Amino acid sequence: MRIVLLGAPGAGKGTQAELIVEKYQIPHISTGDILRAAVKQGTPLGRTAESYMSKGELVPDDVVIGIVAERIQEPDCTKGFLLDGFPRTVVQAEALDKVLKEKRQDLDAVLSLEVDEDEVVRRLSSRRVCQGCGKIYTATDSAADEAKCEACGGKVITRADDQPEAIKRRLQVYKEQTEPLVEYYKKAGILKGIPATGTVEDVFGRVTSTLDQIA
Ligand code: AP5
């Protein structure tokens, strides 16, 4: 299955992605995770990306398109993939269509996680992540309180772009540049709206019933 996860910052893409890739055994391609890893390693890509990410701006299209175009050529992607956080602009969506067309492939579904703005602000303000493995927590989780990851023992921190000003800007950027993709994929006939409120398990239940129908 070739799937895109679409949704506002904090809609729960990363949380659902972890569960989806485990159940359907496909690689998880998160442009946010790839860019954060580059920032942590201090690579030239990371140095470019950091200046955009910390302010809540999008990294330039050509940079992320190059990363994804290369990643989906890897052998593990022959069985499909889950794109999380890409595409994020119409230019990126068109580039993805082009790469897939060259490979004579199509996307099977675009899952659009639907949640209102108050809820995403609440979620992002209380999100914590493991600096080591990227595991996502909320501030009320016991591991987050102890500031130690239950999976790898790494340090649990607040993401630099989860500060109030950056959250505000990310939501603006989402509305201006990413929300048009809902219409783009609706027109393509592959958009599946998923109400993303309720527990993580509730949302995952909706995701799997949608994906099982497609499979
Ligand atoms: P990225 O890492 O993709 O961030 P994002 O899209 O802003 O999404 P988030 O990771 O903030 O949220 P999420 O939807 O994954 O929610 P999560 O599951 O963590 O991108 C970061 C930056 O990188 C961008 O701003 C940009 O600069 C750059 N970038 C990345 N891709 C790019 C691209 N294609 N083009 C250009 N630039 C790009 O959940 C959030 C919180 O809610 C967690 O605490 C979680 O525990 C909690 N939660 C989840 N589900 C529920 C639920 N059902 N109920 C209650 N709480 C829940």
pLDDT tens for each residue of 118-141: 999 999 999 999 988 888 898 887
Measured between alpha carbons, how far is 47 from 2 in angstroms, rounded to an integer? Answer: 30
Q: Which residues pair with 110 in a beta bridge?
A: 4, 191
Measured between alpha carbons, how far is 41 from 90 in angstroms, rounded to an integer? Answer: 29
Given strand 127-130, what is the order of strands in its sheet? Answer: 136-138, 127-130, 156-157
pLDDT of residue 69: 96
pLDDT of residue 145: 64
Pocket test for ligand 1, best of 35, 39, 71, 121 (most atoms within 8 A of CB): 35
How many C-alpha atoms does 166 have within 13 Å on its Cβ side? Answer: 19
Per residue in 136-166, pLDDT (tens digit) is 898 887 666 667 898 999 999 898 899 899 9
Q: Which atom of ligand 1 is nearest to the CA of 198?
A: 53
Ligand 1 centroid – CA 155 distance (Å): 19
Dihedral Cα 215, 81, 143, 161, nearest 10 deg: -130
Shortest-distance Cα residue to atom 34 of ligand 1 = 86
User: Which stretches of the chain score pLDDT less than 70?
Assistant: 142-146
Pocket test for ligand 1, best of 59, 89, 168, 201 (most atoms within 8 A of CB): 59
pLDDT of residue 143: 62
Ligand 1 centroid – CA 214 distance (Å): 25
Q: Which atom of ligand 1 is nearest to the CA of 203?
A: 53
What residue ranges line ligand 1, CB within 6 angstroms?
7, 9-15, 31-32, 35, 52-53, 56-59, 64, 85-86, 88, 92, 123, 127, 136, 138, 161, 170, 199-200, 203
